[in-house]
A and B are shown apart, each in its own frame.
Chain A
Amino acid sequence: MLTKRIIPCLDVTQGRVVKGTSFTNLRDAGDPVELADFYYREGADELVFLDIGATPEGRGTMVDIVERCSEQVFIPLSVGGGIRSAGDMRRMLEAGADKITINTAAVNSPELISQGAVRFGAQCIVVAIDTRRQVDGDEPGWEVLTHGGRKPTGIDAVWWASESVRLGAGELLLTSWDADGQRTGYDLELTRTISRTVTVPVIASGGAGSLEHLYQALVTGQADAVLAASIFHYGTYSIRQAKEYLASRGIAIRIQGEDQ
């Protein structure tokens, strides 16, 4: 049985992890490679690097980070932020990334999804969809945001999710900007609506504050994976604690040390 994935997200700018961490046992908690290795050893199922600066210089730095990371971290690595062409994708894949996350570039040039899927395989094209809730009568609705959540597009997120998959996305990374940073839980309605709509795996993101929230996203939200940053970075919970909690509640989880 396919297990649910726990994915720590590392926001990086100019080669440094942005959100501070409180791991005192790391030599340099701001070094993305060292933090990635730490999570790998803790039993993370996958890692996401997001270059939130997304400058051309930052991209070069990210290639270096991915290269160094893939030398010591033997779980899937997903890389996003500022990837605008099939050439950018190739550079990251050649550096050792397994998946490419595209967001604004996919909205601006949807053909980028197809190009990536055809050249590199659907399994390595992740479309990240940033959303904000819209109030429109009784029906819930979500609008797609681009440019790191700054720019509303008027595009319906549920439609865009289906369209991304039609174009070749192998996975969706859904972020609720209403919930992000609030630590009050994922937007379960958004997650469930899109997870039921598409046939590809869905990663829930934005709002994790407790282990119960992870459980809710996987069960009520029907997500295939949960992404979280601060609850892990600040050491509120370890990956292992999160996994043991979810396993104790009956979720299929890979527990390192028991099975590996």
Chain B
Amino acid sequence: MKSSDRREITIIDYGAGNLRSVANAVIKLGYEPVVTGNPDKVLAARIVILPGVGAAADTVHSLRELGMEAVIRRLVREKRPLLAICVGLQVMLSETEEGGRHPCFGIVPGRVKRLPEGQKVPHMGWNQVKQRTSHPIFQGIPDEANFYFAHSYYADPSDTSAVAGTTDCGASICSVLIKDNLVATQFHPEKSGDYGLRIYTNFLRLAEQSQPERRTRQ
């Protein structure tokens, strides 16, 4: 490994998503973003971010077209560090109701549903995340701190052991999902001020800590 690779963070580019903001957050924390739609490069990366904006079914489709589905499955299976944002969280579930019923990756069982009526949709703005575990992703972040959300659908995992944070927006939704070294947030940490950047810092620290384990295993 080249020494210059050590600060690289690979951001998956699938033709949508707020890549710029995610890349800017990574730069702010002293890392170097590598934006790529090449599955081999993602597979070879140390630390991966899956950004998300738009519809889950479209995102699943775009990722499949790129040959990225198998890569994402493998990253999760091998417990490699992956941060998934917004729709990036939603695609991890079994299926989505958005635009009809569409299968997603099924990495975490459960369904992506439309937010309930009787309130403004999209759920847009700053809302509190209730921490359901004392996971290190929350280090330095008080319980019920506010993060920025912008979405009309939400993840409802049937495996609640993966739910690390919840948010009340008409329904109590899963706002942080964790499975081994997959950390997924329904909110946009790159748009959530200091605490959002703190999520990135915590994720990157966890990712760094997981590296030696990975090398010995290989």
Contact = CB atoms under 8 A, between A and B. Distances in A.
A98 B18 contact: yes
Contact of A170 (B20, B21, B122, B193): B122
Interface stretch (B39-47, B66-74, B147-155): B147-155
B120 A1 contact: no
The contact size tier of chain B is: 35 or more
Contacts of B27: 71
Interface in A59-100: 67, 70-72, 74-76, 93-96, 98
Contacts of A94: 19-20
Interface stretch (B75-83, B138-146, B178-186): B138-146
Contacts of B128: 1, 259
Given A95-B20, A260-B195, A75 B148 contact: yes
Interface of A is mostly: loop
A224 to B, nearest CB: 6
A225 B125 CA distance: 9
Interface in B109-128: 117, 120-128
A142 interface: no
A225 B122 CA distance: 14
A93 B123 CA distance: 20
Given A74-B190, A259-B145, A260-B145, A5 B120 contact: no
A218 to B, nearest CB: 12
A201 interface: yes
Interface string A219-260: 000001100000000000000000000000000001010011
A123 interface: yes
A1 B168 contact: yes
A121 B16 CA distance: 10
B35 to A, nearest CB: 11
A3 B187 CA distance: 14
B91 interface: no
A254 B187 CA distance: 15
B20 A122 contact: no
B102 interface: no
A256 B146 CA distance: 9
B126 A98 contact: no
A70 B20 contact: yes
A123 B123 CA distance: 9
Contacts of A182: none
A3 B54 contact: no
Contact of B127 (A1, A67, A225, A256): A1
**Most A CB atoms within 10 A — which of B55, B126, B145, B188?**
B126
Enumerate the 8 nearest inter-chain pairs by beta-carbon distance, A residue then B residue, closest first.
Answer: A123-B150, A96-B20, A254-B146, A254-B126, A121-B54, A123-B122, A201-B120, A3-B126
Interface of B: 16, 18-21, 24-25, 27-28, 53-55, 117, 120-128, 142, 144-146, 148-152, 168-169, 188, 190-197
6 contacts: A76-B188, A122-B122, A124-B150, A170-B122, A170-B152, A225-B125
Interface of A: 1-5, 40, 45-46, 67, 70-72, 74-76, 93-96, 98, 120-124, 170-171, 199-201, 224-225, 254, 256, 259-260
